[in-house]
Structure 1
């Protein structure tokens, strides 16, 4: 095979590499919320490109809600990563309030269906037993930060579907069906790439990095009451493990 017939390796577009570098700067606190980014000319010099390439990168960050251009003033950081602790007691509302953010949940879909083999194993059920699946979107200060799916054993938690529809809050819904408290039994974290649907909900580009958390919560007797999976926007959330 000649050199000409070999396919050259796929290269990341320069504007995407610049956008990634600036996301990292924002995530690591080099540019904080409200801070003004360097001018297009300064960024062009930093990265060794023309201003059009820099403008393309900044436009991508603006589409993600990370920055906003103000006419005649420059480009400013609009978001900072949300500190989100994961330990024995994971509570979405409390976690975001503690981080100084305004929490919100949006219900996408609630359904009762048969558990898959993996879901049944996590909830200590038989494959095919009924589970309530709660699909939703989590926000911090009106910015989408995570997609989630929580599964609950219907036979063990009578009325859970109606309770979730009424309250949206998992903690309040579980309390209504008799689970006054619950703690985390296990957590697994995996890096994944956003698919088209996830990208649409989270306002990121398809293939953007997400951090998937899978966990099981149990009642005070140790019985699993929730199997949850959450896909966090990688540059909007800093997960911290509590021991």
Structure 2
């Protein structure tokens, strides 16, 4: 467990049990006495772990009844066509997006290389939160070539759907060229945005989307709340 507090390890174990489906939505967790015996800790330590799970939205307590699972991990496929609203609706969740930033600025070195642009070329930046049933599941940061999609920002202000905005700009379809997935821990700022505890597990994806001719049209980084999302790759994807 290293230097992590004992309650943190207990919290992660219970969260993992829920993610694996050992306890489903609406299920009651074992009693405090049972969990204390399982982990060999006093109830004060156990309650700290349960309180943290409740703060993250994974469980909730009912007075006199126990602690119940509230949130189930959302299956999120990463295929050649990744569509946020379609993915969540297929998983039986209600999708929503909260805009945090819309701006046009010069591309940095990494963005220019990913989008095959000249250094300092203008890009549109779209940053926001993705939610499932009102609970934050991911923070995203997407960058687009501004010269190719001059009206993209206005479309996104009206409807924060990238697919709809690109279609309005003349691109009816696009596919995923590459996706890199890395396990990270949440910084204090990221944890606050995703309603997690600092240091909680997150999955970062770095992806490039292309048009039918193979031209990069979007460079995106997304940080998924590890306990709330199950990323899946279809056959032949990667």
* Shorter-chain TM-score tier: over 0.9
Matched, 1:161 2:153: yes
Structure 2 CA distance, aligned partners of 1:32 and 1:101?
A: 15
Q: CA deviation at 1:11?
A: 2.3
1:62 pairs with one of 54, 61, 64: 54
Residues 7-86 of structure 1 mapped to structure 2, 5 A cutoff:
11-86=3-78
RMSD of aligned residue pairs (Cα, Å): 1.1
In the other structure, the counterpart of 1:90 is 82
Matched, 1:220 2:215: no
Offset at residue 156 of structure 1 (A): 1.2
> The residue matched to 2:89 in structure 1 has which SS?
helix
What corresponds to 2:110 in structure 1?
118
Aligned to 1:104: 96
Q: What corresponds to 1:3 in structure 2? A: none
Structure 2: any 5+ residue segments left out of the alignment?
Answer: none
Cα deviation, residue 126, structure 1: 1.0
Q: Distance in 2 between matches of 1:133 and 1:174?
A: 14
CA deviations on 1:135-174 (whole Å, 9 max, x unpaired) are 0000011110000011010011121111111110000000
When Rg is computed on C-alpha atoms for both structures, the one with the higher figure is: 1
SS state at 2:172 partner: coil
- Which residues of 2 match residues 168-179 of structure 1 at below 5 A? 168-179=160-171
User: After TM superposition, where is structure 1 displaced by more than 3 Å over at least 4 residues in a row?
Assistant: none
Distance 2:204 2:2 in 1: 26
Match in the other structure for 2:231: 239
Find the aligned partners of 1:107 and 1:47 in 2 and give their Cα distance: 41
